[in-house]
């Protein structure tokens, strides 16, 4: 396991987030790890491994963050309308 596994996971997470435009929460669920681990992998660890990939991933995360108020409202609406 160790360092190599963590670095590979960080790169794999980054590619997944870029390709799917998924959120940290969505990536955590897909990979079966915590949101904190996903966040640490794609922000801190990835910056040391592959800075350009980290920057690309950061853009997606920033977009998701800017849109989260819309998603949250949508989730609440669905919850109460039962759709």
DSSP state of 45: I
Q: Provide the mean pLDDT of the chain.
A: 91
> Do 31 and 13 contact (CB within 8 A), yes or no?
yes
- State the pLDDT confidence band at 1, using cuts at 50, 70 and 90: low
H or E segment and range at residue 22: none
Domain span at residue 58 reads: 2-81
- State the pLDDT confidence band at 78, using cuts at 50, 70 and 90: confident
3-class SS shares of the chain: helix, strand, coil, % to 5: 90, 0, 10
Q: How many domains does the chain have?
A: 1
CA atoms of 29 and 44, how far apart (whole Å): 20
Looking at the chain, the whole-number percentage of residues with pLDDT higher than 90 is: 72
The predicted model gives 43-67 an average pLDDT of 95
**What are the distances in angstroms from CA 49 to CA 2, 8, 17, 54?**
15, 9, 16, 8
């Amino acid at each position: 396991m160790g360092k190599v596994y963590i670095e590979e996971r960080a790169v794999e997470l980054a590619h997944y987030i870029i390709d799917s435009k998924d959120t940290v929460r969505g990536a955590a669920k897909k990979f079966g790890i915590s949101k904190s681990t996903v966040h640490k992998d794609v922000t801190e660890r990835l910056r040391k491994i592959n800075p350009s990939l980290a920057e690309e991933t950061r853009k997606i995360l920033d977009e998701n963050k800017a849109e989260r108020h819309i998603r949250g409202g949508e989730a609440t609406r669905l919850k109460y309308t039962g759709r």
